[in-house]
Structure 1
């Protein structure tokens, strides 16, 4: 069996650069050799607690060195790493326990009470272990031989999307290494690069893109446990950060700082942005600093980054997310599995080395989502005559108005072009005339007449896509823990919107 695994890469870099920094968080910095020792120590704690190869190990807590060490320790012990959302309440966490049946959960002190409360009603509750103790206390326990099979599972990432009960996305050594290799083909600057990780490790973006990928590629990670745009910019400058990724709001907040113009950000070579629509003005603001924002597209089931656009394309076509990858194919498909013609919206299908193996213990859903070597993403996209992909919404985020499909993302992108608009979300509301009609919920930096917003949309979109309700908010739009706008909360809050707000005109074909 060929030894092509995550651990093989980590061990190889430890031999080649033992004294180089690998992990930096606040005033704590670990070299590669120190990281290796800490990983084995954490693995010994897990083994002595009864964890065996193939067991699941949850890790719960905020972004920290001890979280990272616990994660590597779980992999070294032969367990399947299960990152747990530190924002979950006990009931939510208990549902994940039931789904993944972890043998142990390693938790930060701040999350221990929730981790223990979540065990109530769980048939086989996990053993709760302290992350700091595992990191700081030596323990001698025989470790199993590291996995050498690239088809072995490395981690299960719990996700429920916007639909309800948790499911677990399974990644193997070969799917992770295949994706990281493809990234290095498309941006050689990622090799040995210093990464700023500002995403929770409970998500693919934080765990895989922001942690395991830099390690496999021989780089180092600077962790930012609590988001602060000024601190983030200072770290980029002081630590020589070369690559980072985040949702749109992070880059908007940094660009809005008075110190943005004077801060040296020249170390940044590869920067990915996504999650919410990206405006041309934001791209131009960062371009003026010599930093190109690449609008990547991806999802938990595809290692968070399917497309890998060039900076040139992002500037020339800010609405585009690129073509796909060197080794990753992206197609736009009709309901019957036929490729859509240029300009015709359809579901985005993905096939490539970074696609997950499937869902944990759910053969039916795995077959439905991954059959035939293609990941059916549930996202709606369209290709232009150059082959560039534009994401226009989710299959479940479509407003059907008078029989016409309106994709929320397309309307949101148009509204965000207005300089005064800080945030915008589009939801569907009931309508006597058309069954459903779009409403725009937004927060602005200054007063903007409703008519100006409507007219702006009318000049850019078909008339049936123009919003029939415009609602201004004083407070920020609610967001998920990954900083995406949480439309579940908005739909509940504005369920009776049509009863309390004036409808704007009638649709004109």
Structure 2
């Protein structure tokens, strides 16, 4: 069972059985309990017919039972397929149709949507019941190169793709950053704000428990709760989108808060402002810009602490086992300062997209992952992220495929064409703005109700602009997203917010 995620948990269960692995509210899961609970889960799943390679879908809020189910599935040789608990029955059905899970587990709040999707949910209470009991012996020995998770990601296509990681790729990611950043060594205390159904939440759980850290999870992000937890629990590592750092800094209590325990603070998904950097530097904390992508395994770069304040627009070098290139459209390397597509190569990169060889071949070429992002490397090899090639909106750290939202909007009666672009948002950074065209103006409220029924709430447009004229097109006849972005760049300032 060498270089597997369960073997890492077993190691820490032997070395530090009483150290907390995951803390959620008033409940604590030690490494010893983590191993024994997940072993019992694995034994149950195998007894219920799970075979290596079978998928287990989970639609639930963060809980310790969710954590045990993840590791138990991997220990049994299964593949975890987290489902976004914000998804509508339609979205759940689409994901399950793609992954064909053996079982779908859900908590009480989301079982109804799973049932409405056409799948029979198993209560996550079944996992809670296994928290104590006799030790379980598992005959199955996980394969280091076997897939362990399918993480849905939104990109340029209308339907999310499933990013596949293996035991080896996920443990390689943890080992990579253990060499790079000693602040997250064994025993470090990490604040994680992301749901386990997201790549950020899942990767952080695997990353930090493989390294023997303690992860503190919050059911949802509340600035005051996060601030007090950092103080009370002496959190040493905290990574989030810049907006979360800003919400915490905006609290009156921030000025006198004791954040001296923080040794590693990272921000990604949006540019870190000079004002935000200075607010935290006044408290002795250097926020370090990162760049990453689900497909590469998580973070690809991190700004060196001693350079983070001098060049806040840069994202740093690649980590120890991460190669970076920026290339022209013909594949040749750009000169320092020239912009091009960011390419990455690492042992932590995805195996591919689940049962999608065409997209996998387009994304991974000659061993390099083509990010679909535009950037530049300086003469020291330090990356600056410039823009996205993919048609992606990042709202509050969550990725939204514009194509997916457009596909739902055009199902609504009377809409001939639709394009979705990003509008600035003070709370989430970006939010969807829909530009629609049809023979007559449509009922916007009814359109939003249609979107609510078919899209997770964070994907639903907050603004809707109606165009009497057909939307602009390229010479090829395709709709022109750049022209729409330019024409409606300031539309959000004049449109009523519909959500």
Which TM-score tier does this pair reach, normalised by the shorter chain?
A: 0.7 to 0.9
1:168 aligns with 2:162: yes
Contact 2:341 2:375 (8 Å CA) reproduced:
yes
TM-score, L = length of structure 2: 0.78
Partner Cα separation in structure 2 for residue 191 and residue 310 of structure 1 = 17
Instruction: Tell me the residue number matched to 1:31.
Output: 30
Partner Cα separation in structure 1 for residue 116 and residue 331 of structure 2 = 45
Partner Cα separation in structure 1 for residue 423 and residue 99 of structure 2 = 37
1:62 aligns with 2:55: no
Indicate the SS of the match to 1:149. Answer: coil
Contact 1:70 1:106 (8 Å CA) reproduced:
no
Q: 2:315 aligns with which of 321, 325, 330?
A: 321
Deviation of residue 232 (structure 1)? 0.4
1:130 aligns with 2:123: yes
Instruction: Tell me the residue number matched to 1:106.
Output: 105
TM-score, L = length of structure 1: 0.77
Q: Deviations 1:206-230 (Å, cap 9, x if unpaired)?
A: 1112x11111101111111111011
Q: Aligned-pair RMSD on alpha carbons?
A: 2.9
Within 5 Å, give how 1:100-249 maps onto structure 2.
Answer: 100-119=99-118, 125=119, 127-137=120-130, 144-192=138-186, 193-209=188-204, 211-249=205-243
Distance 1:372 1:501, change over 3 A: closer
Distance 1:388 1:65, change over 3 A: same
Deviation of residue 500 (structure 1)? 12
Q: Deviations 1:68-94 (Å, cap 9, x if unpaired)?
A: 111111112210011111111000010
Q: Deviations 1:299-349 (Å, cap 9, x if unpaired)?
A: 110122000221222211111111211210111111111111122211100
* Unmatched tracts of structure 2, length 5 or more: 395-401, 403-420, 428-456, 468-483, 492-499
Deviation of residue 149 (structure 1)? 2.6
1:364 aligns with 2:335: no
Number of aligned residues: 421
Partner Cα separation in structure 2 for residue 176 and residue 164 of structure 1 = 27
1:489 aligns with 2:488: no
Instruction: Tell me the residue number matched to 2:272.
Output: 278
Indicate the SS of the match to 1:305. Answer: strand
Distance 1:500 1:303, change over 3 A: closer
Contact 2:288 2:304 (8 Å CA) reproduced:
yes
Contact 1:382 1:392 (8 Å CA) reproduced:
yes
Indicate the SS of the match to 2:42. Answer: helix
Contact 1:47 1:143 (8 Å CA) reproduced:
no
* Unmatched tracts of structure 1, length 5 or more: 120-124, 399-407, 410-426, 428-438, 446-484, 503-509
Q: 1:260 aligns with which of 242, 254, 277?
A: 254
Indicate the SS of the match to 1:261. Answer: helix
Instruction: Tell me the residue number matched to 1:430.
Output: none
Contact 1:43 1:143 (8 Å CA) reproduced:
no
Q: Deviations 1:478-499 (Å, cap 9, x if unpaired)?
A: xxxxxxx979836x72464959
Q: 2:338 aligns with which of 344, 351, 355?
A: 344
Deviation of residue 397 (structure 1)? 5.1
Instruction: Tell me the residue number matched to 1:312.
Output: 306
Instruction: Tell me the residue number matched to 1:53.
Output: 52
Contact 2:155 2:390 (8 Å CA) reproduced:
no
